[in-house]
Every structure is written in C-alpha cells, then in structure tokens.
Structure 1
C-alpha cells in the first residue's frame, strides 16, 4: 500500500509540475492597453444613409414571425412576438432604387406598454466602398417615436472595431399591410 501511495504522490507531483510549466509564460495583465494591429490606419467617421424595407405582407415577405407567446395576440403591443428579417437596404425610398445591402437578424416586440422593439441585426453591405463589410446593431426601437437611436456595437471588414449609432425615421408605414420603409442615418467610427 505504501508503494502505491508513493507512486500516486509522484504522479500528482509530475502532473502539477507539467501544469505549472504549461500555464506559465507571459503573465496576463487585465489592465494592459491593447492597440490595433499594424495596418488599421487612423480612425475615421463615416455617415451612411439608406432606406430599410420591412415587408410583412404578400407572397415574398422579408420579415417573418418565427415565435410568439400564448398571450401575444391578446396584447395591444403584440408583446412576445419574434420576427426574423432579411430586409433590403436601398439608396432611396423607392423599393426599386439601387440595393446597397440587407438588414439581417431579428426584432422582438419587447414592451407591454408601447410598440417597443429589441433590434438585433447586421447591416450587410453588398456594393460600393463597403461591399462585404457589416455593421452590427443592438438596441431599442420605439416604433412610433419620430426618431429612434440605436447603438452600433461592432462590425466586420472595413468596419472592424466599429462603434457609433444609427438613427431610424419612419418614411412610410402602411397600417393595412404592416409594410414599412424606414430611413436610416448611421454614424460610425472605424479604421
């Protein structure tokens, strides 16, 4: 029994030694200042202007309800509904104007007192200078406010390390169909 205990202690000692060697190295400092990698250049601010087409009616909707609570239809604000989107972004308010990208993600009706949405979406750009780049939006959108402001929380491509805000203004809302065209002004700081 003593020999087995001795071998067990030796094994534990070797394991501990290897563990210490594996995790040692350069110590991590949580207060260390990190700088962007070489090649990012100087920060700049861009202003993007486009129109968001949220189409819930017709044979080819771009916004589709994917979940709801049992009480959602009884709620005056449709509280609990979740809608998945793949909405076109265009240069002008006309749906036939030049496509610049798509808003992809979801919105959820998150307020019991007003039409308040939780917006979680990426603006995926498909042309021009920002082709292939995205901006990520996460915020509150009170639909019937004149202007709504939501934060830009990140991005990809030319929008790496992006931060800023998006202002939404309803251009048109068809109360019969629920279709909406929303004007967006996005101000973003990026490299």
Structure 2
C-alpha cells in the first residue's frame, strides 16, 4: 500500500511540474514596443444603396414573425454590405475603397438604429491595402452621430478612434443613403 501511495504522490508531483519549451512559434520582443503612435484624419463618403440593378446592401436574414414599425430596414433584419467609399458625395467621384460587413436593425421604434460590424478597406492612395474596423451602434435618424473604430490592419495596425457621421442623403422610403465620414484614427 505504501508503494502505491508513493507512486501516486510522485505522479502528482510530476504532473504539477512545468517544463520550459523553446520553439520558433513564440518569441519575445526584447527591445520592447517602441513604435511611435500616429493620428490620421480620413474624410470620405459611403454610398449605401438597397435599390437599383446592383444594390450595395442586401437583406440576408429577417425574423419569421411580424415586427414593429414599418421602415426600409425594420427591426431584426440583417443586411450584408459592400458599399463603395468615394472622395465626394457625387456618384462620379473617385472610389477610394469599400465598406464590407453587415448591419443589424436593432430598434423597435421609429428611430432607426443599426448595429454595424464593418471593415473599411482602402484601395487607393497612401492607405491602399489598409483598413479600419468599426463595431458600433449607429442611430441613423440622428443627423450627427459617432461610431467607434476598434481595430485595423496594414498602416492602421492597433487602430482605435472614432468616426463622426453626417447624413448627406437619405431616402426614408427605400433606405438608400450617402453618409459623410470624418474619421480620427490613432495607430502605429
């Protein structure tokens, strides 16, 4: 019996020991994190169209029961988007990227509110190949609103910041909209 107890104690001790493992999977930055933080201001227009021959936003899910207020984007509906980002509010202005992701209509009242999960990818200029990520509540019926920038890639690594939105054009019947974005991004 004593031999079994000693073996059990040794087995438990062996299981509790930590063994240092060296591999190429992980390495520590011995110099520390010494990148200088930058502040970048972006200005562009997002074109979100639910109508036409080639809409940039399409409904991908809806509740299977009647919902509250009649609206172009009623409560519980989810839309996938691939919206062009343009330099100006005119449809002929230069496309500088796209907003891809989805938004969910989250308001049961007539004050349209969306939960947005969108990656704003830039395809022209200094930030070509970089993007910022926005995950935030968007109270669409407010003329001026603010969304959170929660990340980024490329030149916007470790991004954080905010986007101030102003509705340039909104068709409340069909949901088509042009939104002006003024974005302040802190990144490395």
| Same fold per superposition (TM over 0.5) | yes
- Deviation (angstroms), 1:66: 0.7
1:169 equivalenced with 2:166 (yes/no): yes
Matches within 5 A, 1:89-108: 89-108=85-104
- Deviation (angstroms), 1:177: 3.5
> SS state of the match for residue 13, structure 1?
helix
Counterpart contact for 1:72–1:81, Cα < 8 Å: no
1:144 equivalenced with 2:141 (yes/no): yes
Structure 2 unaligned residues grouped into runs of 5+: 23-30
Counterpart contact for 1:136–1:154, Cα < 8 Å: yes
- Deviation (angstroms), 1:151: 0.7
1:160 aligned to which of 157, 161, 175 = 157
Q: How many residues are aligned here?
A: 177
Cα displacement string for residues 19-76 of structure 1 (whole angstroms, at most 9, x for unaligned residues): 5223799xxxxxxxxx9734x3x11211100000001011211101111112355533
1:62 equivalenced with 2:56 (yes/no): yes
Higher mean Cα deviation, 74-83 or 123-132?
A: 74-83
- Deviation (angstroms), 1:18: 5.0
CA distance in 2, matches of 1:73, 1:141: 20
Structure 1 ranges of 4+ moved more than 4 A:
none
Counterpart contact for 2:60–2:78, Cα < 8 Å: yes
CA distance in 2, matches of 1:71, 1:126: 40
2:65 aligned to which of 71, 82, 102 = 71
CA distance in 1, matches of 2:137, 2:32: 30
Structure 1 unaligned residues grouped into runs of 5+: 26-34
Cα displacement string for residues 124-172 of structure 1 (whole angstroms, at most 9, x for unaligned residues): 1111111111111111111111111011111111111111100111111
Determine which structure has the larger helix proportion and give its number: 1
CA distance in 2, matches of 1:162, 1:99: 23
CA distance in 1, matches of 2:87, 2:151: 22
